[in-house]
Structure 1
Amino acid sequence: MTNPTTPENPWPVRTVARKIMEYIDRCGWVWVEGQVTQISARPGTGTAFLTLRDPAADLSMSVTCSADMLRAHQPPLTDGARVVLHAKPSYYINRGTLSLRADEIRAVGVGELLARIERLRRLLAAEGLFDPARKRRPPFLPDTVGLITGRASAAEHDVLVNAKARWPAVRFRTENVAVQGALAVPQIVDALSALDRDSTVDVIVIARGGGSVEDLLPFSDETLCRAVAACRTPVVSAIGHEQDTPLLDHVADVRCSTPTDAGKRVVPDVAEETARVRQLRDRARRALHGWVDRERRLLDSLRSRPVLADPFTPLDRRAEQVSALVQRARRAVLRRLDAERSALHATNARLTALGPAATLARGYAVVQRVDPTGHTGVLRSADEAPVGTRLRVRVMDGAVYAVVSGEHDPPVSGGSRGETRA
């Protein structure tokens, strides 16, 4: 590797292959876990070949081992068996292929599988994937039901038959996948992703019939559980029988005990819904009739009351009361006017008797002094009217003017002053 290559000095293929083999040979021994497929151990040969597949991804590697070791393995290895093997990477220089050379193969027992599932269960629960708060309720009547199941399987038949028996118009989009073995998880995850992208699919059902713990291992796979948790469409799990509880049952939004149960729960029963609608219509009809009868009785009761039976009687009674009040008001006003008129006449008579006009009518006169400016003032004393003073004498029917021309006359008997000649 330290010698650089150039177009003039290239390496031959054998050199490159040998250097790759030398580099890979420096890798150490490792323990690898996977599912065994394509086991080949021909009679008379000392080497057996098999494929080790990753259960959660579409990846595999070729494995070579001693044929005697493979035949002596108990229980005998079968396709889909979960194993742990001790192997070293090996590069086959003639064909340019990479494989694992195993010197020990151990089958993963049921107890170990259950322990791993339990550890994964606690991990997913701690992350909240089992939390009921994150579970979604499937729609009452889905537009299209996505179904992930094995091809021509009893689970597919149970779901389709029971769902169509309950709601004949239900539509399905079925994705047939492997439900056990090394290809199960990748195919189920791909089908789940395809159905989740379909906007017409309202609910997804993952169904499989019963089986052993090894058969149901794909439905406890971490990759599948996380894919279901990330799915935007509600997922219904219908795996195995009532006693089978893979981790998928805890992650899914709805768990059904069997595929038959899933077919019954994914859609409503048309007969039950028709009966329910009929019952609701009968209840609505009875409620409406009861309300109409109650309102009719109320109207009859209102119409039987005197105020509605003869509405003019209260009006006539009120009209009579108004007329009586009007008469009383008129009489009160007339009495008040008569009293005020009498009081006015009496006041007028008193004013007439006390006024100066009545005094003048008895022969008296009012003498006023007129000054040069034309102003007048009542003459109260003879001393206020020297000779030449102009006087205005008011009598009952008018006034005359005079001028003082003489001195005071002697006082009359009983008088306090004399008289002035005008």
Structure 2
Amino acid sequence: MAEHEVRTSPEEPWPVRVVSQKISAWIARLGWVWVDGQVAQVSRRPGANLVFLTLRDPSAEMSLSVTCYRDTFEACDPPLREGSRVVVHAKPEFYAGRGSLSLRADELRHVGLGELLARLERLKKALAAEGLFAADRKRRPPFLPRKVGLVTGRASAAERDVRENAAARWPAVAFELRTVAVQGPTAVPQILDALADLDRDPEVDVIVLARGGGSVEDLLPFSDEALCRAVFACRTPVLSAIGHETDTPLVDFVADVRCSTPTDAGKRVVPDLAEERRLIDQARYRLDRAVGHFLDAERRWLTNVRSRPALAKPETLLNGRREEVDGLRDRAARCLTHRLDVAGNDLTHTLARLRSLSPLSTMQRGYAIVQRAADDAVLRTPDEVTTGDRLRVRLADGELAATVE
């Protein structure tokens, strides 16, 4: 175990005073530091020489108590008030009697406008280098959101402008309102909570950050780094409507759509019902005209087709074709008859030649054919038979049986 580690046990615990002393010693080692913050509360007791301040972190729900002498507090020009951005030179102290931590300040300085603008410019360059301002990551808000998330001040003119202008364009628009502080030390934490709450709501399709005009100091919460990163991380499209048209807090560059004023946001978050109806009427008119022109063109084409001779008097074409068919049938009949006549003549001549060469023709002139009955062999000489052989004598009209004697 290292030498500096604490050695305690249930049997040998440290008294409260020892723990308090050790905590005080550790805190005292920090020494004097410069602290940047926003004055959240000022407490001045009549006749007291000490002034008590609450210094809050501009981007988180964290604060520290600060004590200073009245002379140190009154040395600030202009006088400090709640919401002032200051730089404090202080030393942290732990009060063992109360168990509390506070800063003991010996110098308070206002953060000047020039210094604030320089800080914002450095932050703007850093965020731009990280791609938070890139145009290709910006999303198009939905054409008609189911519900519009609105983050604005309580009963503010910005809320009224957004609601009235949106309702004038689309009377059925629905809002999910989150009222927050829009300036001062509690503004950024409240806006972050409201933004995260609306981003989790599945019915909210778009979120509007709205605030009226003000000084650079009043609009500082909307240039806070934590808020810019939260808007960048939102899954829901965000519209920024902060101040007047000339006001450009850093959240304008991160948001998906930058509106010049809350009134402009009310006009851009929903479509104009009258304009959409006019566009629909125009589209229907153009569609009717297009369909009418198409039908007229088709009707003219049909009229032209019907006026052609082939459709006007289709029997004319059929009659011509019938004549052609009749002519072809006549030619085919004549050609076939001619061929049959030629073939008949050829057959007659062939039959005549065949008859002239046929043995039957010779036999009709008185000749006969003698065959041996045993094997039908034609006999040409008497030596081919013997006595007693049976013969077959074929005549022109029948045959005879004979025996050789």
RMSD: 2.2
- For residues 386-405 of structure 1, the C-alpha deviation after alignment (integer angstroms, 9 at most, x for no partner) is 65655433221233344555
What does residue 414 of structure 1 align with?
none
TM-score (norm 1): 0.88
SS of residue in 2 equivalent to 1:204 = strand
Moved more, 87-96 or 379-388: 379-388
Q: How many residues align?
A: 401
Mind listing any 5+ residue stretches in structure 2 that lack a counterpart? none
1:393 aligns with 2:396: no
Show the counterpart of 1:278: 281
CA displacement at 1:144 relative to structure 2: 1.4
User: What does the per-residue CA deviation read over 1:69-108, in whole Å, with 9 as the maximum and x for residues that have no partner?
Assistant: 1101122212111112122221223322211111222222
Partner of 1:68: 71
Alpha-carbon distance, 1:360 to partner: 0.8
Partners of 2:286 and 2:267 in 1: how far apart? 27
Q: State the secondary structure of the residue aligned to 1:376.
A: coil
For 1:87, the equivalent position in structure 2 comes to: 90
Of the three residues 231, 235, 253, the one matched with 2:234 is: 231
Report matched runs for 1:367-386 at 5 Å. 367-370=370-373, 374-385=374-385
Return the match for 1:265 from 265, 268, 278: 268
Q: Distance in 1 between matches of 2:341 and 2:147?
A: 101
Give 1:341 shift: 1.9
Deviation at 1:35? 0.6
Paired AA for residue 153 in structure 2: G
Residue 180 (structure 1) shift: 0.8
SS of 1:262 mapped into structure 2: helix
Q: In the alignment, which residue of structure 2 is the partner of 1:290?
A: 293
Alignment of 1:14-413 (within 5 A): 14=17, 16-370=19-373, 374-385=374-385, 390-405=390-405
Partner Cα distance (1:72, 1:140) in 2? 56
Q: Which amino acid aligns with 2:315?
A: F
Whichever residue aligns with residue 93 of structure 1, its letter is A
Structure 2 CA distance for aligned equivalents of residues 356 and 18 of structure 1: 162
Q: Per-residue deviation at 1:238?
A: 0.7
Greater displacement, 147-156 / 337-346: 337-346
Determine helix, strand or coil for the equivalent of 2:205.
strand
**For residues 76 and 199 of structure 1, what CA distance do their matches in structure 2 show?**
47
SS at match of 1:83: strand
For residues 3 and 390 of structure 1, the distance between their equivalents in structure 2, rounded to whole angstroms, comes to 160
Query: Against the structure 1 CA distance between its residues 26 and 369, is the aligned structure 2 distance closer, same or farther, given a 3 Å change threshold?
Result: same
Deviation (angstroms), 1:190: 0.7
> 2:8·2:14 contact (CA, 8 Å) conserved in 1?
no
Moved more, 156-165 or 187-196: 156-165
CA–CA separation in structure 2 for the residues paired with 1:15 and 1:358: 165
Query: 1:378 aligns to what SS in structure 2?
Result: coil
Cα deviation, residue 61, structure 1: 0.9
- Aligned counterparts of 2:152 and 2:362: Cα–Cα separation in 1: 139
Deviates more, 1:199-208 or 1:14-23: 14-23
* Structure-2 separation of matches of 1:12 and 1:329: 137
| Identical amino acids, percent of aligned pairs | 62
Determine the C-alpha separation between the residues in 2 that align with 1:259 and 1:244. 12
- The SS at the match of 1:119 is helix
Shifted more, 15-24 versus 356-365: the winner is 15-24
Q: Return the alpha-carbon distance in structure 2 between the equivalents of residues 43 and 283 of structure 1.
A: 80
Supply the distance in 2 between the matched residues of 1:360 and 1:21 (Cα, whole angstroms): 165
- Structure ID, larger Rg: 1
**What do residues 20-76 of structure 1 show as CA deviations (whole Å, max 9, x unaligned)?**
434433432222211112112334322111001011111111111111011011222
Taking the aligned partners of 1:164 and 1:2, their CA distance within structure 2 comes to 66
Query: SS at 1:39's partner residue?
Result: strand
In structure 1, C-alpha distance between the alignment counterparts of 2:9 and 2:302, rounded to whole Å: 111
Structure 1: which 5+ residue stretches go unaligned? 406-422
Counterpart-to-counterpart distance in 2, 1:68 and 1:304: 110
d(CA) in 1 for partners of 2:370, 2:155: 150
Distance change in 2, residues 1:41/1:392 (3 Å): same
Change (3 A) 1:376 1:6: closer
Alignment partner, residue 409 of structure 1: none
